[in-house]
Amino acid sequence: MLQGKTVLLGVTGGIAAYKAAALASALVKQHCCVEVIMTAHATEFIAPLTFEQLTGNRTMVDTFDRNFVHQVEHVSLAHRTDLVLVAPATANVCAKLAHGLADDMLTTTVLACKCPKLIAPAMNTNMFENPVTQDNLGILRRYGWEVIQPATGRLACGDTGAGKLPEPEQLLQHILRRLALPHDLEGKRVLVTAGPTQEALDPVRYITNHSTGKMGYAIARMAMLRGADVTLISGPTAIDPPPFVEVVPVVSAADMFDAVAEHSADANWIFKSAAVADYTPAEYSGDKVKKKDGDMSIPLTRTRDILQYLGDHRRPGQFICGFSMETRDMLENSRAKLEKKHVDMICANNLKVAGAGFGVDTNIITLITADGAEELPLMSKEAAANRILDAAKAHEKAEQE
């Protein structure tokens, strides 16, 4: 997702410098060009050659190194950098960057960068919590830096507390949020529902469906990467929540209705991709229901229709998209749903078509609106999510014209 992007990774003199190597590797796997600048102290913890082997680029340490093409190297690098991340950042480097000191290759180059800048402080807990360090981090925030909060745990010095460098995967997610996709949804508040619901019969058993939540989670993640403020209301799933998204966990259809009712008024766009149970047991038994001969029927009652509620209570300018999983007469059933629920779009798919449906990483979706139907080809659920978001954006633009 980072093809064509250049990330400047600044590595300073802390024991967590080894994690920067794993981050560099992860960035390269995202087809990113990684330029590494190390402080002299950082080279005491990890060799520059490690980064050179991982990135394919020369690791820079010395401002006055003559082994490069004749140009002002720190200025040239600053011009071609899309994002700066200093990780790990010592208290000393945080202080220098906060006050514009430029006495080595890293601080000189960063001072010349106009791109987004991130910093991940990593140090002893007492050093991190020292008011001077906190003031310096506050100054960096005021100058537009994003300060990535350190993790809490056992530190290399033996103390326990805040100061650990987050894991490379977490740092990568911060970079992806900034660089992976254009932020064309900046300022949008997006609400997504995902996953199944569980309707309890007794303390042991429940009724559910085969939804895994993958489609809804993909929409939430893509909207976040495109700059939206995303709330994800999720039934029980085995998927890790997307980062930088507010996740509201629910279990039953009633829980999901209440959560949607609470959060929907503030949303600009709503994507109701959850597979909510249409029926729930009429009675709940506080004790496990025992096996018995004879009638084993389970009386059921209808759940509240969330999509109908959204369509009936929509506010002006709100975009609402429902989902339709069919096994036959997909277009006819989905068009009827579009009209009955008073929504703007239905994303329909057929469970019997290979590559669509529950539990797979691909989908074949037909986007149905009042103006017609657009059948999308087989694609990953993340690619499909982007097409769904594009359709929402186009619909909103058309409504405004």
Q: What is the DSSP letter of 304?
A: P
278 labelled as ligand-binding? yes
Q: How far, in Å, CA of 37 to CA of 108, rounded?
A: 11
Antiparallel, parallel or unpaired: β 246-249 and 269-272: unpaired
If phi > 0 it is left, if psi is from -120 to 50 it is alpha, else beta; for residue 3 that is beta
Of the residues 32, 33, 113, 157, which is catalytic?
A: 157
* CA atoms of 282 and 295, how far apart (whole Å): 16
Q: Residue 352 annotated as binding?
A: no
Q: What angle do CA 374, 376, 377 make, to 5 degrees?
A: 150
Q: Mark whether 157 is an active-site residue.
A: yes
Is 257 annotated as a binding-site member? no
Cβ contact 219:274 at 8 Å: no
Measured distance CA(271)–CA(220) in Å, rounded = 9
The conformational region for residue 266 under phi > 0 = left, psi -120 to 50 = alpha, else beta, is alpha
Q: Check whether 188 is labelled as a binding-site residue.
A: no
**Helix/strand/coil percentages in the chain, nearest 5:** 35, 25, 40
**Pairing between β-strand 160-164 and β-strand 199-200 as defined by DSSP bridges:** unpaired
271 is in an annotated binding site: no
Find out whether 259 and 205 touch, Cβ atoms under 8 Å.
Answer: no
How many helices (H) does the chain have, and how many strands (E)? 13, 21
Distances (CA, A) of 313 to 236, 302, 307: 27, 20, 10
Question: What is the rounded distance in angstroms from the CA atom of residue 164 to the CA atom of residue 153?
Answer: 7
How far apart are the C-alpha atoms of 187 and 221, rounded to whole Å? 16
Candidates 196, 307, 195, 189; CA nearest to 245 is 189
Question: Which parts are annotated binding residues?
Answer: 278, 288, 323, 337, 341
Question: Which parts are annotated binding residues for CTP?
Answer: 278, 288, 323, 337, 341
Q: Which residues are designated catalytic? A: 157
